[in-house]
Amino acid sequence: MYEGKLIFSQLMDFVPWRRFATCVKRYRGDYKVKSFRCSEQWRVMAFAQLTYRESLRDIEACLRAVQSKLYHMGIRSRVSRNNLSHANDARDWRIFADFAQVLIAEARRLYANEDLGLDLDATVYALDASTIDLCLSLFPWARFRKTKGAVKLHTLMNLCGNIPEFILISDGKLHDVNVLDYLTPAAGAYYVMDRGYLDFERLHSLHQAKAYFVTRAKRNFNFKRRYSHEVDKTTGVQCDQTIVLETYYSFQGYPEPLRRIRYYDEGRGKRLVFLTNDFDLPAVTVAKLYKARWQIELFFKWIKQHLRIKAFYGTSQNAVKAQIWIAVSTYLLVAIMKKELRLPLSLYTILQILSVSIFEKTPIPQVFSQHDYQNQNPRCRNQLLLFE
């Protein structure tokens, strides 16, 4: 019988605690703190994410039920609603944001050689935003509309491994396109965006940084065709053109030629028009790049369903941001563990198993090993035989 660590403790072994301590020290998170330090707060909140706890009372009740195991989970202090509520409100959320950047760097290294399924030797990013609705009476600082509150989660995701590399949490009023001002473009990388990010001045900044972009054109898009290139219409590509912008302000923002590709998606029965500044990439690959952008939509759907970011344990701005960053850190930690242990299961399956086995003392690789129960025929000495 295995008498080692709890599964939760084995998962925590993948956390770079020295780097975490550096983040805590940077913002003086443990200054004059005698009990329930930032590391314990992070562990408790990670436990809440992994087991999908509903409230602070829920967290307190569950952890008090396993009081004898808390020491082995790395939680030395008494866990109460007041302690956790005060920590979420008072501890600077930038501690957890900076630590998430540490995990992002580690995950990026592990997933650098992931195959995207495209004949493309470059980093591909998908940029999008998701709105998280809030009750305005409980979150008055997050005013979105007259009777509605919200925060936005702007995410730049590396499609090699579906790792979020940049996250900005803003109020609901910030338009999606403004997040381009916060990015530092990487030369040679591809940035795939929807029509909400169609701002020619900002796209020209990407072009000047020697980065590539792929986005969709709007219906009122005015342009002048310079050249038309031959296309194979059996691939779905209907036209491949070199164009220049015709509207005065658009041309002032982007005075150089653009590439316009019209593609017919037979599966959805829709015609899509793409704009890009890459004139060498095959037109079909441009369409596949935009199709890969759907991974970030699945990411938003996944974290909203399987992590605790739609309902919050605190109502202050600091508590909300801290909870979101800890949720992202938990996602990254599970992704790192999956890669380090070479687990063949999906992140969804891993999280589901973790949620019901967090207090077991079983080696993690054994927990996630797949067994064929249908081929197992247990024999019992007392079982009578009907046919001989």
> For the segment 41-78, what is each residue's pLDDT rounded down to a tens digit?
999 999 999 998 989 999 999 999 999 999 999 999 88
- Our CA dihedral for 29, 51, 76, 329, rounded to 10 degrees, sits at -30
Query: pLDDT above 70 covers what percent of the chain?
Result: 94
The per-residue pLDDT of the chain, averaged, comes to 88
Predicted pLDDT at 161 = 80
Q: Would the pLDDT of 299 be above 90? A: no
Provide CB contacts within 8 A for 199, sequence distance 6+. 177, 180, 253
Cα(162)–Cα(169) distance, integer angstroms? 19
Predicted pLDDT at 374 = 41
Predicted pLDDT at 163 = 86
Domain boundaries, the chain: 7-95+315-365, 211-283
Residue-wise pLDDT tens digits, 174-201? 899 999 999 999 999 999 999 999 999 9
Cα(80)–Cα(87) distance, integer angstroms? 11
Q: Would the pLDDT of 265 be above 70? A: yes
Q: CA dist 293 to 3, 4, 125, 131, 337, Å?
A: 45, 42, 8, 18, 25
For the chain, the three-class secondary structure string (H helix, E strand, C coil) is CCCCCCHHHHHHCCCCHHHHHHHHHHCCCCCCCCCCCHHHHHHHHHHHHHHCCCCHHHHHHHHHHCHHHCHHHCCCCCCCHHHHHHHHHHCCCHHHHHHHHHHHHHHHHHCCCCCCCCCCCCCEEEEEEEEEEECCCCCHHHEEECCEEEEEEEEEEECCCCEEEEEEEEECCCCHHHHHHHCCCCCCCEEECCHHHCCHHHHHHHHHCCCEEEEECCCCCCEEEEEEECCCHHHCEEEEEEEEECCHHHHHHCCCCEEEEEEEECCCCEEEEEEECCCCCCHHHHHHHHHHCHHHHHHHHHHHHHCCCCCCCCCCHHHHHHHHHHHHHHHHHHHHHHHHCCCCCCHHHHHHHHHHHCCCCCCHHHHCCCCCHHHCCCCCCCCCCCCC
CA angle (97, 48, 67) in 5-degree steps: 125
Q: Would the pLDDT of 381 be above 60? A: no
Predicted pLDDT at 3 = 67
Predicted pLDDT at 284 = 92
Cα(354)–Cα(364) distance, integer angstroms? 9
Lowest mean pLDDT among 3-7, 218-222, 360-364, 379-383: 379-383
Predicted pLDDT at 369 = 80
> Is residue 239 within 8 Å of residue 231, measured between CB atoms?
yes
Provide CB contacts within 8 A for 19, sequence distance 6+. 99, 102
Cα(4)–Cα(10) distance, integer angstroms? 9
Query: pLDDT above 90 covers what percent of the chain?
Result: 60
Residue 212 amino acid letter: Y
Burial zone of 143 (CB within 10 Å; 0-12 exposed, 13-18 middle, 19+ buried):
middle
Tokens of 240: 């491949």
Q: Quick one: which of 365, 363, 361 has its CA closest to 341? A: 365
Predicted pLDDT at 377 = 45
pTM for the structure as a whole: 0.85
CATH T-level topology, domain 211-283: N-terminal domain of TfIIb (2.20.25)
> What pLDDT band is residue 372 in, cutting at 50, 70 and 90?
very low
> What pLDDT band is residue 386 in, cutting at 50, 70 and 90?
very low
Phi first, then psi: give them for residue 369, nearest 5 degrees: -75, 140
105-128 CB burial, b ≥16 within 10 A, e <16: ebbbeebeeeebebeeeebbbbbb
Handedness of CA 299, 303, 306, 311 (dihedral sign): negative
